[in-house]
Amino acid sequence: MNTILEALRGINSYPIPLRTINEVAERRGVDLNEETTVDILQGRAFNLSRADLLLWLSYAPNVTQGGQSYSFSDEQRMRMRGMAHQIYDEMEEEGPPKTLYGYKGKRL
């Protein structure tokens, strides 16, 4: 059996820092040491944690660690963001605020 930590790390081979996973788990109320079950993997807290990490990955820098390089193309980053927002929509959770660009004020 896998733990929730292993399941979340299995989202991608990119080396997500443990402190990032811990922060997401605490925010979503997930016990990382608990063994996974079908109910947990289909549950709200796990899937929202997964979406948070997908969104984090979509902004993660390209890195080289121990002779191994990890990088994402722009298309992969957009796909991860799309997957994260799809999970937020399915779970009826508002994702992080979207940045709006535009003119504000009377003078340019």
What is the arithmetic mean of pLDDT over 42-53?
Answer: 96
Which pLDDT does position 95 carry in this prediction? 61
At 52-71, the pLDDT tens digits run 999 999 999 999 888 899 99
What is the arithmetic mean of pLDDT over 71-98?
Answer: 87
When the pLDDT of each residue in the chain is averaged and rounded to a whole number, the result is 89
pTM of this prediction? 0.83
Distances (CA, A) of 16 to 4, 60, 70, 102: 14, 9, 11, 33
Which pLDDT does position 106 carry in this prediction? 61
What is the arithmetic mean of pLDDT over 9-32?
Answer: 95
Which pLDDT does position 82 carry in this prediction? 96
* Rounded Cα gap, residues 33 and 30, in angstroms: 9
* Rounded Cα gap, residues 54 and 38, in angstroms: 20
* Rounded Cα gap, residues 18 and 78, in angstroms: 24
What are the sequence ranges of the domains in the chain? 4-90
Q: Which of 27, 72, 81 is nearest to 51 (CA)?
A: 81
- Cα 92 to chain centroid, rounded: 16
Which pLDDT does position 81 carry in this prediction? 96
* Rounded Cα gap, residues 92 and 36, in angstroms: 23
